Amino acid sequence: MEYVAGFCAALLRSLAFYAVFFWPGWLVLRVITFGRFPRLRKPSRHVEDLFDVQFVSFIGFIAIVGPCVLLVPLMRS
């Protein structure tokens, strides 16, 4: 039972990661590449697009969390 719960938790975590960070990553990559990448219009469920969705979501994560991490030391001083 604990394996099923762990699998469900990992699945929900990854889906939430893709749902939250895909669109900011999509926007950042569109601006940086002048609209050439990513070709995806929405997160796809096709296996061949999974790497692109993961990459775009990771860029979105960096774009949101990165400035927050960099600003915390500046706000303390």
Task: Give the model confidence (pLDDT) of 4-42 as tens digits.
Answer: 888 988 888 888 888 899 999 999 999 999 988 887 776
Provide the residue count of the chain.
77
Q: Per residue in 54-66, pLDDT tens?
A: 899 999 999 999 9
Share of the chain above pLDDT 70, in %: 90
Sign of CA dihedral 30, 32, 34, 38: negative
Domain boundaries, the chain: 2-76
Query: How many other C-beta atoms are found inside a 10 Å radius of the C-beta of residue 21?
Result: 20
Nearest to 17 by CA among 68, 50, 48, 61: 61
What does the alpha-carbon distance between residue 52 and residue 1 come to, in Å, rounded to a whole number? 33
pTM flag (> 0.85):
no
